[in-house]
A and B are shown apart, each in its own frame.
Chain A
Amino acid sequence: MTRSLPDQSLGPEWTILELLARGIIDDSEVQMVRDLLTTDTLKWGELLEQALRHKMFPMLAHQIMSASLRFDVPTNIYMHLESALEWNRWQIEVFRRETVRVAQALADRGIPFVVTKGMAFESTLYDSLGTRYMNDIDFMITPRDRDKVMTVMQELGFRPFFDWAKDARREEISSRLNPDHLPKLAREIDQPGIRLIDIDIANSLTWTKSPFDVPVEEALENPVEQPIPGMSGVSIPCFRPIYQFLFTVLHLFREAWLQKFVESGTDVGLMKFGDVIRLIDRNQNKLTDSELLRIMQTHGVTDAVAWVLRHMDETFHTHAVELLALEKHGNEKLLRSQMRSPGYVNAWSESMRGRLQSKSRGSVQPVAPAHRGS
């Protein structure tokens, strides 16, 4: 997708991260990032903090290393970035091996599944550079296989794990009452620098009782086999591009539209949009086909997809709505809304750009009382 250069009204630090998130595609962007990284007014503290908040630390490190900016960056910061990138590459390698181990066990039992998100994108959208940060490994299964998969995972040494949450009991109850995911699973490992491997297994493209959903059984049909870098002859099943796109967009919608993710500080970040931009860039022919629109209309998710793409276009100067012919879809009321809890929708007037940059999103208040809606 062509896009104009971002405006710099939010400062050079934010502009650098926006450019990296959407992907550097031409010389003018390469030069802009280089100029911004070497500007005298750059606040390194702000840049590093925002890179961490948006899971972009390895990507920022890679950009600086590959642009040969060794002597333009404060030495201690450069060294830290370098080791962070190396550590991320090591973690990805460990995650790859674990992904294959779990995938093999599920396949041996004939359970349909795909690998999603970071592990699926790392090689296809991020060229196996070790720049895509991931804190867990994600799988998608059907709801009917929940018990079978739980048994397999326990045989592999995984246990339900809630300690990651601020309130572990709340998270435990919530995961039992909202069975769109298995409880988060973890296994202790004995690898340098990595103590636990977390696995997140979803059985819905969105959330329990969501008004916007695509049947997971349909999405899992005809997966594509994706080679694992560095492991000759080994591959993992992933969604085919149309469903990969739908899942990624609807997952972003879930984290951005449901207020509970804002309150817990785990809502949408720059890289979630970065994934969507790259998916469109690399699968344009398949996504502009009429099949995508037909599937979206069949399942009533067009407005949710348009919500994401319109916010994305406004924020990153992309043209996804036009490219996917969704100009007539999505409505203003939905676009400026956020779901407080099932059935109750708040008006929301903030821009996505401002929200992404904000460090206190939990304090953002709705602009109007909640109303009953879908």
Chain B
Amino acid sequence: MDDITTQFEECLRRHLRSAKPNPINYDVELVQLGLDSMTAVAVLMDMEKTFGIRFPDDMLVEGTFRTAGRLKEAVQLLRERQAS
């Protein structure tokens, strides 16, 4: 599977103002980078479009995008599921 880091980070930066100038810390809560309930929807939709995935209902919960690390794992998992 390709490394998705660049596309993933570009996607986050498009929506999270505080993530723009700095390297993304994958352990920090996304709320601290400016994520709120509206931008969360926008981020998830952008991830779906960018990576051609669809978040199933059971992944549409806060835990999925609490940190960039958690979100990236979810995206990778869905890409792998789709590829198999």
Q: Which residues of A pack against B, CB within 8 Å? A: 169-170, 173-174, 176-178, 208-209, 260, 341-344
Known A-B contacts A173-B60, A176-B57; the reply to A344 vs B41 at CB < 8 A is: no
On chain A, the residues within 8 Å of B2 by CB distance are none
Report whether A177 and B45 are in contact in the complex, using a CB–CB cutoff of 8 Å: no
Report whether A173 and B45 are in contact in the complex, using a CB–CB cutoff of 8 Å: yes
Question: How far does the alpha carbon of A209 sit from the alpha carbon of B40 in the complex, in Å?
Answer: 14
Report whether B41 and A209 are in contact in the complex, using a CB–CB cutoff of 8 Å: no
Q: Is B55 an interface residue (CB 8 A)?
A: yes
Q: Which of B4-12, B21-29, B31-39, B75-83 contacts A (4 or more CB under 8 A)?
A: B31-39
Known A-B contacts A169-B45, A170-B41, A170-B45; the reply to A176 vs B60 at CB < 8 A is: yes
Told that A209-B37, A260-B38 touch, could you supply 6 new A-B pairs with CB distance under 8 A? A170-B45, A173-B44, A173-B55, A177-B62, A343-B36, A344-B36
Report whether B45 and A341 are in contact in the complex, using a CB–CB cutoff of 8 Å: no
Report whether A341 and B37 are in contact in the complex, using a CB–CB cutoff of 8 Å: yes
Report the minimal beta-carbon distance from B74 to chain A, rounded to whole angstroms: 13
On chain B, the residues within 8 Å of A342 by CB distance are 36-37
On chain B, the residues within 8 Å of A208 by CB distance are 37
Question: How far does the alpha carbon of A271 sit from the alpha carbon of B16 in the complex, in Å?
Answer: 37
Question: How far does the alpha carbon of A169 sit from the alpha carbon of B47 in the complex, in Å?
Answer: 13
Q: Is B61 an interface residue (CB 8 A)?
A: yes
Report the minimal beta-carbon distance from B16 to chain A, rounded to whole angstroms: 12
Cβ contacts A to B, 22 pairs, < 8 Å: A169-B45, A170-B41, A170-B45, A173-B44, A173-B45, A173-B55, A173-B60, A174-B37, A174-B41, A176-B60, A177-B40, A177-B41, A177-B61, A177-B62, A178-B37, A208-B37, A209-B37, A260-B38, A341-B37, A341-B39, A342-B36, A344-B36
Q: How many A-B residue pairs have CB under 8 A?
A: 33
Report the minimal beta-carbon distance from B5 to chain A, rounded to whole angstroms: 24
Report whether B61 and A176 are in contact in the complex, using a CB–CB cutoff of 8 Å: yes
On chain B, the residues within 8 Å of A260 by CB distance are 38
Question: How far does the alpha carbon of A344 sit from the alpha carbon of B39 in the complex, in Å?
Answer: 12
Question: How far does the alpha carbon of A178 sit from the alpha carbon of B48 in the complex, in Å?
Answer: 19
On chain B, the residues within 8 Å of A176 by CB distance are 57, 60-61
On chain B, the residues within 8 Å of A173 by CB distance are 41, 44-45, 55, 60
Q: A208 — nearest CB in chain B belongs to which residue?
A: B37
Question: How far does the alpha carbon of A252 sit from the alpha carbon of B18 in the complex, in Å?
Answer: 32
Question: How far does the alpha carbon of A322 sit from the alpha carbon of B45 in the complex, in Å?
Answer: 47
Closest 3 CB pairs of A and B: A176-B60, A341-B36, A341-B38
Report the minimal beta-carbon distance from B64 to chain A, rounded to whole angstroms: 9
Question: How far does the alpha carbon of A92 sit from the alpha carbon of B8 in the complex, in Å?
Answer: 49
Question: How far does the alpha carbon of A343 sit from the alpha carbon of B38 in the complex, in Å?
Answer: 12
Report whether B37 and A177 are in contact in the complex, using a CB–CB cutoff of 8 Å: yes
Question: How far does the alpha carbon of A247 sit from the alpha carbon of B41 in the complex, in Å?
Answer: 27
Q: B64 — nearest CB in chain A belongs to which residue?
A: A177
Report the minimal beta-carbon distance from B17 to chain A, rounded to whole angstroms: 11
Question: How far does the alpha carbon of A246 sit from the alpha carbon of B39 in the complex, in Å?
Answer: 29
On chain B, the residues within 8 Å of A169 by CB distance are 45, 48
